[in-house]
Amino acid sequence: MEAFHGFAAWLMFGGKLIGHNDPVHQERVVKFNELVANCAIYSTALVITDAANALAAEGHPVDPDDLATITPYITRTIRRFGDWVLNLTPPDGEPVTRLDLEPHALFPTGTV
């Protein structure tokens, strides 16, 4: 939770203070910030999953311990104040959210 809140605080627009004393406005700001954080984390997790699946499909071993060190809380490649485009068109296909690894993809043959 601390990592999530740190990431959400990094994504926060307009600084750390909410400029209104209206509780309804404050709740909306917090909920929007968490929604943006969750969307960024989900998108990054999908990219990581695609990369791991591609490596496994090419025959490279994918070590679960290596995957455990990869975090979706990446801050250096997100353009917080760049071009934001809201595209409500559904994607062409379903996103791949399952990490399908064959037993031989986790460890090289003969090491288990």
The single residue listed with the structure tokens 């591609």 is 54
Question: How far is residue 13's CA from residue 79's CA, in Å, rounded to a whole number?
Answer: 12
Q: 46-104 pLDDT, tens per residue?
A: 888 888 999 888 988 888 888 888 888 887 776 666 666 777 888 788 887 787 776 66
Specify the pLDDT at position 112: 47
> Which residue from 29, 2, 35 is spatially nearest to 13, judged by alpha carbons?
29
Task: Give the burial string for 75-104 (b: 16+ CB within 10 Å, else e).
Answer: eeeeeeeeeeeeeeeeeeeeeeeebebeee
18 pLDDT more than 60:
yes
Rg from Cα positions in the chain? 18
SS3 97: coil
Where are the chain's structural domains? Answer: 2-106
pTM of the model: 0.64
Specify the pLDDT at position 63: 86
Q: Which residue has the higher pLDDT, 105 or 41?
A: 41
Confidence of residue 38 (pLDDT cuts 50, 70, 90): very high
43 pLDDT more than 70:
yes
Q: Please say whether the beta carbons of 52 and 101 come within 8 A.
A: yes
